[in-house]
């Protein structure tokens, strides 16, 4: 069921209890977790935090902790499956689920006792009504007598009932027909409801709202909420409209926080945290890199210029010349650029970008500023934390270490981690750009009819980076965008993309990701989740649907071709 009063029905319930937090491995979940932890610290709520990377982890964590905890809070996992069926908990376990995954499983919506959804009921849900899906067996009163005969479609009626025959048989037939109709409609409704996967409002924003309702919100929590929202935008989980709407919501909170202390000028010490609204450039990490490198490695600019072609390189030089930016300056570290250049940079770039067909070079976002040296945009934090979360630097199979590092990097006291995250993010972006360039230039993306397909071979440089879901999804998105800009085939521009990369060479597994087609007005709804399931079933391929996003699966490399064929047939 949906929780209507998050303070009364959630926070006050757990405030005197010990809680188990099961947190998924994405940045929005990490931010939501930080906010909730801060609230719990404030009110001395004892908790245990367990990172979970997939359904298997979730089940294991639940089994390990079910004896000790009655209340479980699940962040960014659990809403889109029948949780009670999966975990088989005791009757007194209660689950609070704050998850952006949609659609929410109907059982979770209509369970009144054990599942409490920390989701707003109007959050773009369109849940089917109860009567359309569930039918009380008690309505089948009259069938009780006839039930024995239903299966054989009416055996010889016994002598006693001959009087009621005609009427009874007619009524029974009518009921059966109505039931079949109802069931057909139910299948249709459920199919429509569950066909497309998408994402709802950020979990971090939900918890920030809780903090606000409790009047315990701080600037740190506000910043984490902003990062959570930005994560959804960076990883293409929400539509542009929704992003802009949510930014406006956050802007109201930011204004409120900023007006608190601005009585006189310079009333705040330089070390205090300041969050400001920025209409900033869509150049990833540009303030921590050189402007030139950022332009070359940001998806938006790289695809608009087509920087993998010679022509594209020339256009870039023209673009820089047009703005009057000397190459020497532009290739320097951003902080070392001349002040005179940095002053109007955003406006200058926006003007020139318009000439080169890039109308949306600027995007609404927020930045943070504390101390003399520390300025970060929300996007920087997302990229840094995501790089730390999926770092393959140390050859460990222990993903929880990375989780802890990424979680720590979000705190202001762990600036070194943040900087190391930014370095990793730069390497990751470079790798993505190089891979995109090579895929486009060697025509590795093939049209399979209903979708585009690309497979990263084992020897590809940096292929280890792309064995992780977030990195592969980012690569997928950039690749599709680049492809759309480079192909002349009008039909291919509207196709979705499926990408496969080797995951574990020893075990012979690959990771497969599907993303919806690239378009300005895309609603980001992804049908690959169900499609993958069906394709795997029909070919009995050995797949592992472990990730919380159904559109990301693991597959045995040997089964790749038959799986692909089934997918093509399914979607044609």
**Min separation Cβ 414 and other proteins, Å:** 8
Nearer to other proteins, 46 or 126 (CB): 46
**Min separation Cβ 410 and other proteins, Å:** 9
Q: Is 408 a residue that touches other proteins (CB under 8 A)?
A: yes
1, 15, 37, 143: which one binds other proteins (CB under 8 A): 37
What is the spatial distance between Cα 88 and Cα 109, in angstroms, rounded to a whole number? 17
400, 486, 538, 546: which one binds other proteins (CB under 8 A): 400
Q: Is 411 a residue that touches other proteins (CB under 8 A)?
A: yes
Half-sphere exposure of 473 (CA within 13 A, CB side): 23
Nearer to other proteins, 64 or 393 (CB): 64
What is the spatial distance between Cα 244 and Cα 65, in angstroms, rounded to a whole number? 40
Provide the token pair at 54: 């997939």
**Min separation Cβ 379 and other proteins, Å:** 23
140, 188, 401, 537: which one binds other proteins (CB under 8 A): 401
Binding mask 40-69 for other proteins (x = CB under 8 A): xx--xxxxxxxx------------xx-xx-
Provide the token pair at 185: 């409609």
Half-sphere exposure of 511 (CA within 13 A, CB side): 23
**Min separation Cβ 21 and other proteins, Å:** 9
**Min separation Cβ 228 and other proteins, Å:** 17
**Min separation Cβ 139 and other proteins, Å:** 46
| Total length of the chain | 572
Q: In the window 489-518, what residues touch other proteins (CB under 8 A)?
A: none
**Nearest Cα to 407, choosing from 25, 122, 8?**
25
Residue 554 has a CB neighbour count (10 Å cut-off) of 20
Q: In the window 85-124, what residues touch other proteins (CB under 8 A)?
A: none
**Min separation Cβ 48 and other proteins, Å:** 5
Nearer to other proteins, 62 or 193 (CB): 62
**Min separation Cβ 368 and other proteins, Å:** 16
Dihedrals phi, psi of 491, to nearest 5 degrees: -70, -40
Given a contact cutoff of 8 angstroms between Cβ atoms, the answer to whether 231 and 31 are in contact is yes
**Nearest Cα to 73, choosing from 211, 207, 232, 215?**
207
Nearer to other proteins, 150 or 396 (CB): 396
Match 């970060």 to its residue by tokens: 376
What is the spatial distance between Cα 288 and Cα 276, in angstroms, rounded to a whole number? 18
85, 137, 152, 398: which one binds other proteins (CB under 8 A): 398
What is the spatial distance between Cα 270 and Cα 272, in angstroms, rounded to a whole number? 6
3-state secondary structure of 79: coil
Nearer to other proteins, 406 or 495 (CB): 406
Match 């998408």 to its residue by tokens: 198
Nearer to other proteins, 41 or 177 (CB): 41
User: Residue 404, class by beta-carbon neighbours within 10 Å (0-12 exposed, 13-18 middle, 19+ buried)?
Assistant: middle
- Segment near other proteins (CB under 8 A); pick from 406-414, 453-461, 495-503, 546-554: 406-414
8, 18, 161, 314: which one binds other proteins (CB under 8 A): 18
Concatenate the DSSP letters of all residues of 166-207 into one string: HHHHHHHHHHHHHHHHHHHHHHHHHHHHHH-BEE-S-HHHHH
Provide the token pair at 331: 């290739």
Nearer to other proteins, 13 or 345 (CB): 13
Nearer to other proteins, 60 or 489 (CB): 60
Nearer to other proteins, 411 or 434 (CB): 411
Helix (H) or strand (E) segment spanning residue 509: strand 509-515
Q: How far is CA 235 from CA 152, 231, 415, 515, in A?
A: 55, 6, 23, 11
Nearer to other proteins, 28 or 408 (CB): 408
Given a contact cutoff of 8 angstroms between Cβ atoms, the answer to whether 234 and 260 are in contact is no
**Min separation Cβ 49 and other proteins, Å:** 4
Provide the token pair at 315: 């256009």
Residue 314 has a CB neighbour count (10 Å cut-off) of 11
What is the spatial distance between Cα 198 and Cα 241, in angstroms, rounded to a whole number? 14
Nearer to other proteins, 8 or 18 (CB): 18
Q: In the window 523-552, what residues touch other proteins (CB under 8 A)?
A: none
193, 198, 403, 453: which one binds other proteins (CB under 8 A): 403
Q: How many helices (H) and strands (E) does the chain have?
A: 24, 16
**Min separation Cβ 221 and other proteins, Å:** 13
Q: How far is CA 258 from the centre of its chain?
A: 30
Q: Is 374 a residue that touches other proteins (CB under 8 A)?
A: no
Number of residues that bind other proteins (CB under 8 A): 25
Given a contact cutoff of 8 angstroms between Cβ atoms, the answer to whether 484 and 452 are in contact is no
**Min separation Cβ 488 and other proteins, Å:** 50
Nearer to other proteins, 150 or 401 (CB): 401
Nearer to other proteins, 46 or 269 (CB): 46
**Min separation Cβ 220 and other proteins, Å:** 10
Q: Which of left, alpha, beta for 524 (phi over 0: left; psi -120 to 50: alpha)? A: left
Provide the token pair at 466: 């792309």
**Min separation Cβ 68 and other proteins, Å:** 5
Nearer to other proteins, 49 or 424 (CB): 49
**Min separation Cβ 417 and other proteins, Å:** 11
Residues that bind other proteins (CB under 8 A): 18, 37, 40-41, 44-51, 64-65, 67-68, 398, 400-401, 403-404, 408, 411, 413-414
């Amino acid at each position: 069921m949906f929780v209507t009063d998050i303070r009364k029905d959630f926070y006050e319930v757990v405030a005197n209890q010990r809680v188990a937090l099961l947190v998924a491995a994405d940045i929005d979940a990490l931010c939501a977790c930080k906010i909730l932890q801060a609230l719990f610290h404030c009110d001395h709520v004892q908790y245990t935090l367990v990172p979970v990377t997939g359904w298997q982890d979730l089940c294991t964590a639940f089994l390990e902790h079910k004896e000790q905890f009655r209340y479980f809070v699940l962040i960014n996992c659990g809403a889109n499956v029948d949780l009670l069926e999966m975990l088989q908990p005791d009757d007194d376990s209660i689950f609070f689920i704050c998850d952006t995954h949609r659609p929410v499983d109907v059982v979770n919506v209509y369970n009144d006792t054990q599942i409490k959804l920390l989701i707003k009921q109007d959050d773009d849900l369109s849940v089917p009504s109860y009567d359309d899906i569930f039918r009380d067996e008690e309505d089948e009163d009259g069938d009780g007598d006839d039930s024995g005969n239903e299966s054989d479609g009416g055996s010889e009626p016994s002598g006693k009932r001959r009087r009621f025959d005609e009427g009874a048989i007619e009524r029974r037939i009518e009921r059966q027909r109505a039931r079949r109709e109802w069931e057909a409609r139910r299948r249709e409704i459920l199919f429509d409801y569950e066909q497309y996967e998408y994402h709802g409002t950020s979990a971090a924003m939900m918890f920030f709202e809780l903090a606000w309702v409790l009047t315990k919100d701080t600037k740190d929590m506000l910043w984490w909420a902003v990062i959570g929202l930005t994560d959804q935008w960076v990883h293409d989980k929400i539509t542009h409209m929704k992003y802009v709407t949510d930014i406006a919501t956050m802007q109201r909170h930011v204004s409120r926080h900023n007006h608190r202390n601005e009585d006189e000028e310079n009333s705040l010490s330089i070390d205090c945290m300041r969050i400001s609204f920025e209409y900033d450039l869509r150049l990833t990490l540009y303030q921590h890199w050189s402007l030139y490198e950022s332009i070359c490695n940001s998806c938006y600019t790289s695809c608009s210029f087509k920087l993998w072609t010679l022509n594209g390189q020339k256009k870039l030089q023209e673009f820089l010349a047009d703005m009057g930016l000397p190459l020497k300056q532009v290739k320097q570290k951003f902080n070392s650029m001349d002040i005179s250049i940095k002053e109007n940079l955003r406006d200058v770039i926006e003007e020139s970008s318009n000439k080169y067909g890039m109308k949306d070079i600027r995007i609404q976002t927020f930045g943070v500023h504390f101390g003399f040296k520390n300025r970060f945009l929300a996007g920087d934090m997302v990229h840094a934390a995501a790089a730390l979360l999926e770092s393959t630097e140390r050859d460990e199979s222990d993903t929880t270490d990375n989780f802890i590092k990424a979680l720590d990097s979000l705190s202001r006291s762990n600036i070194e981690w943040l900087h190391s995250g930014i370095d990793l993010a730069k390497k990751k972006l470079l790798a993505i750009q190089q891979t995109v360039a090579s895929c486009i230039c060697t025509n590795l993306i093939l049209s399979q009819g209903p979708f585009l397909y690309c497979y990263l071979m084992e020897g590809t440089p940096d292929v280890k980076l792309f064995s992780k879901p977030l990195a592969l999804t980012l690569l997928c998105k950039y690749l599709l965008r680049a492809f759309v800009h480079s192909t002349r085939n009008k039909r291919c521009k509207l196709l979705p993309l499926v990408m496969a990369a080797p995951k574990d060479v020893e075990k012979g597994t690959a990771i497969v990701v599907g993303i919806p087609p690239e378009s300005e007005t895309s609603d980001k709804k992804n049908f690959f989740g169900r499609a993958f399931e069906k394709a795997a079933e029909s070919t009995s391929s050995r797949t592992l649907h472990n990730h919380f996003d159904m559109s990301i699966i693991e597959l045995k490399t040997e089964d790749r071709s038959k799986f692909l064929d089934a997918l093509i047939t399914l979607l044609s």
